[in-house]
Amino acid sequence: MSVPVPSAVTRYFAATENGDRDALVASFADDAVVIDEGRTHRGRAEIRQWRDEVATAYEYTVEVLGAKPDGPDGYLVTTRLEGNFPGNVVDLRFRFRLRDDLIAYLEIAP
């Protein structure tokens, strides 16, 4: 990543790359919120379900293009996904808000 980011963000992308859904879910706070594809997922149980659906629907790779601070407790990470989803390539922004070295909020959008 272009700037140092907190370990919660690093853990999230490492778990994504390794397909480790347990580690990915553990990087979130108990009451975390994820917004992806217009759907909101609240709490670790819903976040696990979201990741299970994404992991079984598509095969893809994630390339981190850059990262920068986004407010006092946030980071904006830009990525490129390539895979077997419609369009095959998409650039996405991951907007993280952190609390106690865990992800409290994540919004994923083009």
Domain boundaries, the chain: 7-109
Q: Please give the model's pTM, rounded to 2 decimal places.
A: 0.92
> At a CB cut-off of 8 Å and minimum separation 6, what does 27 contact?
8, 11, 12, 15, 102, 103
> Residue 85 has what pLDDT?
87
Phi, psi dihedral angles at 15 (to 5 degrees): -65, -40
Which CATH number does 7-109 carry? Answer: 3.10.450.50
> Residue 4 has what pLDDT?
81
Residues in the chain: 110
Tens digit of each residue's pLDDT, the chain (110 residues): 456 889 999 999 999 999 899 999 999 999 999 999 999 999 999 999 999 998 788 888 999 999 999 999 999 999 999 999 889 999 999 999 999 999 999 999 99
